[in-house]
Structure 1
Amino acid sequence: MSTERAVRLWAGWFDDFFASLAGVFGQVEPRRMAMAYVKALIAPVERKNGWQIAEHAGHESPDRVQRFLARSTWCSDQLRDALRSFVVVFLARPDGVLVLDETAFLKKGRMPAGVAPQYAGITGQIENCQVAVFCSYATDMGRALIDRELYLPAAWCDDADRCRTQHIPRQRAKAVTTKPELGRRMIERCRRAKVPLGWVAADSAYGQDRRLRAALERRRIPYVMAVPVDETVHTHGTGNLRVDAFAAAVPLFFERRSCEAGAKGLRSYDWAPAEVAWPGGAEGGPRRGYLHLLLVRRSIADPAKVAYFAVHAKADTPIGEIVRVMGLRWSIKDGFETAKSDCGLDHYEVRTWDAWHRHIILSMAALAFLTITDTRSRDLHHPEEPDQLPTPTAPLDEAEKGDLQAALKS
């Protein structure tokens, strides 16, 4: 496909993409500003803050950008719902995976909503930062971030005046809502929106939350979630044991399988499942036709490196499918990296609750457009059928990304 034709296609796809979101913005001015904002997030702008976004949009100052984020009349949750619908149109599969994870945004000062000294996974230590929980939708066709919630630490919930200053909704400021609870709310929103959903996957910060696992079991939603070594399992033969003690005491049969491709090639491990009961699950244990598994993952290079996963799945689920879900779980980390490097996810300079959620959902929209443009651009076997969705192969190379950014710059 020629560069000229690709540019025309990408520009047309962007128009269609934004048309699916435009109804969120009831007035012309915020609608135009939203389009300019997303184009700036996609464009080769070095630092996607208010000044540089304004400059890309042709404004002399960031006043209109700041007003758009802080005071204009539009709802970021409505944009979230519209974005989720757009993503589902192109990526939905019955075996789609919702992935929960969090990321930190390092900040100075104490004014931005939710900022506090707290653990930041990006540095592995306590930092002055904001932490947000995200939900990604992942299938073999592609992956996109589709929901987000800013975590509000106890120090904020205990300070009503501070919450009022940053326009934090009273309902959210009343009490600390745990990160797993924020994740559960995102899953519920996807269920109500009828997002095709086969699995939920998450790391141990969510896997160790028994209430979250029980809620999924009651709804017959399969999951694969990492758990810490001090989580317990139960069998009639062993009673209650920590997962590491159980894995050492019971014969396990490992098989080598590859999951999602990483930066250094396929991620291969040795895997062993064992049927167990997870304390704290849904009342009466797994629903009929479902079972609990402990999945043990062992490093090939260093067999001493072992990880443990709680699995709730249909009784006839092959281990290859569980490993596939494990591979897609890592995709949200790639989504964070791309959103921060290419779509300005962490470039914001806002303080209030609404402005934060607005910037973040616009950045997620930019990422979703890039993801789906990538999907639609791969292997266009029929040049006269630009709307065909081909089978995924390789992502856009750097030259193609540059052409896409040039096409959307105006």
Structure 2
Amino acid sequence: MIRRSWMTGSSIEATLELWASSLRDVKGRMRGLFTQERVAASANLFLDGLLGDERRKTGWMRAEAAGDPGPWRQQAILGRGRWDADGLRDIVREYVVENLGADDAVLVIDETGFLKQGKASCGVARQYTGSAGKITNCQIGVFAAYVSARGHAFIDRALYLPKSWTGDPARLAAAHVPEGTIFATKPALAVDMIRRALAANVPFSWVVADTVYGVGDVEGVLRRACKGYVLGVKSSHYFGSWAGKPPVAGTAEDIARNLAPDAWRRLSAGEGTKGARLHDWVYCELADLDADEYDETRTGLWTRGLLIRRHISDGDLAFFTTWCPAGTDIQTLVCVEGQRWAIEDSFETAKNELGLDHNETRSWHGWNRHVSLVMLAFAMMAAIRYRANDMTLPKKTRTPATRN
């Protein structure tokens, strides 16, 4: 069951024991979601199938791996069974925080597409997805990944429903979408995720996202919560500095074009597969504000700013609106923005190895259940990797004090 890509630096025996104990742990955590033992057993087999060696995680493939004569028990977990996918989402979040939690962690918000045929799958429509790089027939899922020095894993998800769905009650009912569901933009889904993380006291200091989420309610909820952010914005977004800061005014692109050549600094946003991810950067502080401007119960000085990234080879520019404790340096902001790669890595791994996009159901519940089970499998793997690597790290030895 353990793939070579998941093997760690510890011994095979230690890894096998860690795997077995971790699998027992996560299965035990989700047991309370199921009122019947047979349903819980099927959920366990479903999880085993996601973690198995089969490249395709279809119902038939999972059933074959589980020794079932057909996919019906596997499909029942996603459809006919009665259990709360949001309850599993919360279990995943708690598990991730327990194993990977850190006060300086970063929440990364992003979306991914699930290519589909036909019109019946919940939320499917012709819409743009970066997964395919074009407008195509697909579902869109918005996700939140938790990133710390210990590793990264998904902690939340939401299926985006276009207006062609929310405006069609019959279509919603056919896909078993909960009554009262209304249209919500992707930023609104992101705000809900951030609020859930805050309500659950998830430890984090930053939120990172691309231009879809960079302006509006996401900024407001984070400022009120005293959480820093580095959020992508379009080149046409207007920025202006306040008194006490160097004069800056204009669109993000105009500001970048008028910068002096020596304003740029070559900095690494973190290590990639080919070494340091170097770009040229500029950070413009725009205004200092006290936290009580947004929440009268809080204190502390925060800085609103503009971060600009320039690609070394082709000069391509990217722009980010920032909010951070006063005195935060540019290298910190660059490293925070660099954490966005973690969710891209998570999407790739979850799709290629855990069947994130292999969901065959058409219903709202089917999508949420399938995705939540994949999130649990991914979180377990992240925890195993951290714990196994921690076991193999050389222990620091104290150097005896030298006597004078």
Residue 109 of structure 2 corresponds to residue 103 of structure 1? no
Residue 358 of structure 2 corresponds to residue 347 of structure 1? yes
Any conservation in 1 of the 2:282–2:307 contact (CA below 8 Å)? yes
2:12 is matched with 3
Identify if the C-alpha distance between structure 1 residues 238 and 9 changes in structure 2 by more than 3 Å, giving closer, same or farther: closer
SS in 1 for 2:250: strand
Aligned counterparts, 1:64-213, within 5 A = 64-172=73-181, 174=182, 176-207=183-214, 209-213=215-219
**Which one of the candidate residues 309, 312, 317 is aligned to 2:320?**
309
**Which one of the candidate residues 209, 220, 224 is aligned to 2:226?**
220
Any conservation in 2 of the 1:233–1:277 contact (CA below 8 Å)? no
Q: Residue by residue, what CA displacement relative to the aligned partner does 1:340-370 show, whole Å, maximum 9, x if unpaired?
A: 0010000111000001100010011111111
Q: TM-score, normalised by structure 2?
A: 0.88
**Which one of the candidate residues 319, 337, 361 is aligned to 1:326?**
337
Of 333-342 and 56-65, more deviation after overlay is shown by 56-65
Unaligned runs of 5+ in 1: 384-389, 392-410
Tell me the number of residue pairs that the alignment of Structure 1 and Structure 2 aligns: 379
Residue 306 of structure 2 corresponds to residue 294 of structure 1? yes
Opposite residue 219 of structure 1, the aligned amino acid is A
2:401 is matched with none
Any conservation in 1 of the 2:105–2:147 contact (CA below 8 Å)? yes
Q: Residue by residue, what CA displacement relative to the aligned partner does 1:164-205 show, whole Å, maximum 9, x if unpaired?
A: 011011222x3x200011001001000011000110000111
Unaligned runs of 5+ in 2: 1-9, 397-404
Q: CA deviation at 1:50?
A: 1.0
Q: CA deviation at 1:216?
A: 1.3
Q: Residue by residue, what CA displacement relative to the aligned partner does 1:250-272 show, whole Å, maximum 9, x if unpaired?
A: 54722222122223222011211
Opposite residue 253 of structure 1, the aligned amino acid is A
Give the Cα separation in 2 of the matches to 1:7 and 1:143.
Answer: 21
Any conservation in 1 of the 2:108–2:144 contact (CA below 8 Å)? yes
Give the Cα separation in 1 of the matches to 2:294 and 2:53.
Answer: 55
Q: CA deviation at 1:327?
A: 1.4
Give the Cα separation in 1 of the matches to 2:13 and 2:22.
Answer: 14
Opposite residue 293 of structure 1, the aligned amino acid is G
Q: Residue by residue, what CA displacement relative to the aligned partner does 1:14-50 show, whole Å, maximum 9, x if unpaired?
A: 1123222222223212211111111110110121011
Of 264-273 and 132-141, more deviation after overlay is shown by 264-273
Identity %, equivalent residues? 38
Any conservation in 2 of the 1:21–1:83 contact (CA below 8 Å)? no
Of 287-296 and 44-53, more deviation after overlay is shown by 287-296
Identify if the C-alpha distance between structure 1 residues 240 and 169 changes in structure 2 by more than 3 Å, giving closer, same or farther: farther
Residue 391 of structure 2 corresponds to residue 380 of structure 1? yes
Residue 30 of structure 2 corresponds to residue 21 of structure 1? yes
Q: Residue by residue, what CA displacement relative to the aligned partner does 1:370-401 show, whole Å, maximum 9, x if unpaired?
A: 11111111152499xxxxxx99xxxxxxxxxx
Any conservation in 1 of the 2:210–2:233 contact (CA below 8 Å)? yes
Opposite residue 276 of structure 1, the aligned amino acid is L
Opposite residue 202 of structure 1, the aligned amino acid is A
2:372 is matched with 361
Of 36-45 and 258-267, more deviation after overlay is shown by 258-267
Any conservation in 1 of the 2:224–2:294 contact (CA below 8 Å)? no
Give the Cα separation in 2 of the matches to 1:362 and 1:284.
Answer: 37
Q: Residue by residue, what CA displacement relative to the aligned partner does 1:73-110 show, whole Å, maximum 9, x if unpaired?
A: 21000000011101101111110111000000010000
CA RMSD of aligned residues (A): 2.4
Q: CA deviation at 1:305?
A: 1.5
Q: CA deviation at 1:284?
A: 7.5
Identify if the C-alpha distance between structure 1 residues 110 and 287 changes in structure 2 by more than 3 Å, giving closer, same or farther: farther
Residue 65 of structure 2 corresponds to residue 59 of structure 1? no
Of 320-329 and 285-294, more deviation after overlay is shown by 285-294
SS in 1 for 2:102: coil
Any conservation in 2 of the 1:218–1:287 contact (CA below 8 Å)? no
SS in 1 for 2:263: coil
2:240 is matched with 234
Identify if the C-alpha distance between structure 1 residues 115 and 382 changes in structure 2 by more than 3 Å, giving closer, same or farther: closer
1:259 is matched with 269
Give the Cα separation in 2 of the matches to 1:371 and 1:350.
Answer: 27
Identify if the C-alpha distance between structure 1 residues 300 and 105 changes in structure 2 by more than 3 Å, giving closer, same or farther: same
Give the Cα separation in 2 of the matches to 1:41 and 1:214.
Answer: 38
Give the Cα separation in 2 of the matches to 1:255 and 1:156.
Answer: 47
Opposite residue 188 of structure 1, the aligned amino acid is R
Any conservation in 1 of the 2:151–2:382 contact (CA below 8 Å)? yes
Identify if the C-alpha distance between structure 1 residues 255 and 238 changes in structure 2 by more than 3 Å, giving closer, same or farther: closer
1:41 is matched with 50
Opposite residue 200 of structure 2, the aligned amino acid is A
